[in-house]
């Protein structure tokens, strides 16, 4: 039995495209409608058959939908919510997939009518690719999806959305939006900023030639470059909207970096060894939790070295 009668996907990129394919895989939506900003993306979505019907406007796409998913960059969510508000069906649920929660709630919630449920969400799954062709049905399998409903949210509406994500392969946690933003600043946002910086630094270093950087990248740099290839619009919005938590974690990061710098300068091998032992245990925990594979070279089998 489908969990929702009609699901409207607003934005048809990596996340919405993967949701469409995961919902089709499990027969979770009676019908899927969708729209995107550009005619080109709408045409690709039609060609791929992501939706049963692709509309030119968000207002048309949400008509009659019992679930509406905002899957556009964070900075575009408020305007989109204002645009669809008059066209939402009473009793429907609006959710989003934005990587930051507090700012999205502030931008979207004021536009949601009384009779409509707003249940913010964030699937912790993604790749460095974007656009309608980058989606795949397995993206959410065994990944976490965090819901941040308000305290007075309708429990049945929350439960229904939870069942959808679970049926798309995800595990669900519910938490407060501010806590979500802090957790993600540690696990995703700051690491991305560090990767962007490291790749930028390598780009600036004139003593190491570009060809050497590329040739020897398997020594660690390659993993930074993959993260640093992530969508610039999405990540600009993440840092503009999760400012406080990211700055807090960056402050701590800088302190630790200075401590390591000092240990290197003073030859404090014990400090370095203890630190790296602790970080190794964190990696082991991630593998044990099934969030990564323990294969050598992060599971790359045939990638060039
Ligand atoms: P994406 O592949 O770049 O797709 C974004 C979609 O939004 C496209 O259909 C695009 O339309 C549309 N769009 C872009 N700017 C718009 C605007 N100003 N107004 C209306 N529509 C606009 O992005 P995505 O990776 O799916 O990310 C979507 C959301 O998911 C973001 O909020 C992001 O924070 C969140 N998220 C991303 C990841 C990840 O790893 N990528 C993971 C979890 C959550 P056109 O193609 O026509 O421009």
Ligand 1: which of 35, 37, 128, 134 to mutate, most ligand atoms within 8 Å of CB?
37
- Print burial letters for 124-134: b (CB count within 10 Å at least 16), e (below 16): bbbeeebebbb
- The residue-averaged pLDDT of 77-84 equals 98
Give nearest CA residue, ligand 1 atom 6. Answer: 11
The model's confidence at residue 201, banded by pLDDT at 50, 70 and 90, is: confident
Strands 117-123 and 144-147: antiparallel
Q: ∠ CA(33), CA(39), CA(40), 5° rounding?
A: 105
Note the pLDDT tens digit of each residue in 96-119: 999 999 999 999 999 999 999 999
Section 279-286 average pLDDT? 91
Ligand 1 contact via 36 beta carbon (within 6 Å): yes
| Rounded Cα distance, 147 and 214, in Å | 40
What domains, with CATH codes, occur in the chain? 4-175 (3.40.50.720), 179-293 (1.10.3660.10)
What pLDDT band is residue 293 in, cutting at 50, 70 and 90? confident
Distance 275 CA to ligand 1 centre (A): 37
Q: Which of 10, 33, 73, 122 to mutate to test the pocket of ligand 1 (most atoms within 8 A of CB)?
A: 73
Q: For residue 215, is pLDDT > 90?
A: no
First to last CA, the chain: 47
- Mean pLDDT lowest for which of 78-92, 136-150, 189-203, 266-280? 189-203
298 CA → ligand 1 middle, Å:
27
Q: Report the range of poorest mean pLDDT among 60-64, 250-254, 299-303.
A: 299-303
Separation of 71 CA from ligand 1 center, angstroms?
6
Give the mean model confidence (pLDDT) for residues 173-195.
96
pLDDT at 286 over 80: yes
pLDDT-derived band at 304, boundaries 50, 70, 90: very low
3-state DSSP assignment of residue 145? strand
pLDDT at position 202, please? Answer: 82
How many other CB atoms are there within 10 angstroms of residue 149's CB atom?
A: 22
The pLDDT of residue 297 is 74
The pLDDT of residue 170 is above 90: yes
If you measure from the C-alpha of residue 126 to the centroid of ligand 1, how many angstroms do you get, rounded to a whole number?
11
Q: Which residues contact 83 (CB under 8 A, 6 or more apart)?
A: 58, 59
High-pLDDT (> 90) share of the chain, %: 83
Q: Count of alpha carbons within 13 Å of 59, Cβ hemisphere only?
A: 6
Q: Is the CB–ligand 1 distance for residue 51 below 6 Å?
A: no
Nearest to 186 by CA among 272, 247, 258: 247
pLDDT (0 to 100) of residue 206: 67
Ligand 1 mutation pick, 9, 14, 22, max ligand atoms within 8 A of CB: 14
Pocket test residue of 17, 35, 121, 234 for ligand 1, highest count of atoms within 8 A of CB: 234
Average pLDDT for 135-139? 98
The minimum-distance atom of ligand 1 relative to the CA of 100 is 34
Q: What is the mean pLDDT of residues 132-159?
A: 97
**Ligand 1 touching residue 170 (CB < 6 A):** no
The chain-wide mean pLDDT, for the chain, equals 94
């Amino acid at each position: 039995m489908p969990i929702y009668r009609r699901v409207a996907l607003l934005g048809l990129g990596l996340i919405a495209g993967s949701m469409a394919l995961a919902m089709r895989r499990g027969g979770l939506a009676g019908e899927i409608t969708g729209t995107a900003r550009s005619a080109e993306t709408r045409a690709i979505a039609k060609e791929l058959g992501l939706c049963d019907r692709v509309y030119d406007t968000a207002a048309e796409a949400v008509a009659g939908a019992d679930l509406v998913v905002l899957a556009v960059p964070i900075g575009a969510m408020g305007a989109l919510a204002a645009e669809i508000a008059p066209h939402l069906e009473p009793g429907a649920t609006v959710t989003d997939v934005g990587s930051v929660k507090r700012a999205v709630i502030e931008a979207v919630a004021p536009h949601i009518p009384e009779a409509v449920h707003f249940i913010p969400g964030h699937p912790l799954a993604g790749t460095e690719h974007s656009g309608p062709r980058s989606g795949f049905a397995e993206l959410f399998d065994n990944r976490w999806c965090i819901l941040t409903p308000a305290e007075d949210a309708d429990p049945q509406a929350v439960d229904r959305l939870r069942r959808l994500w679970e049926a798309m392969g995800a595990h669900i946690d519910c938490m407060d939006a501010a806590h979500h933003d802090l957790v993600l600043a540690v696990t995703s946002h700051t690491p991305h900023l560090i990767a962007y910086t490291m790749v930028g630094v390598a780009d600036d270093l004139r003593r190491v030639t570009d060809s050497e950087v590329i040739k020897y990248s398997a020594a660690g740099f390659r993993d930074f470059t993959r993260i640093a290839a992530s969508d610039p619009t999405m990540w600009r919005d993440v840092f503009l909207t999760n400012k406080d938590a990211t700055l807090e974690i960056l402050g701590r990061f800088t302190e630790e970096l200075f401590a390591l710098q000092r240990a290197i300068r003073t030859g404090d091998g014990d400090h370095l060894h203890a630190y790296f032992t602790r970080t190794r245990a964190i990696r082991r925990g991630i593998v044990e939790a099934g969030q990564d594979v323990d294969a050598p070279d992060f599971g790359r089998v045939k990638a060039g070295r």
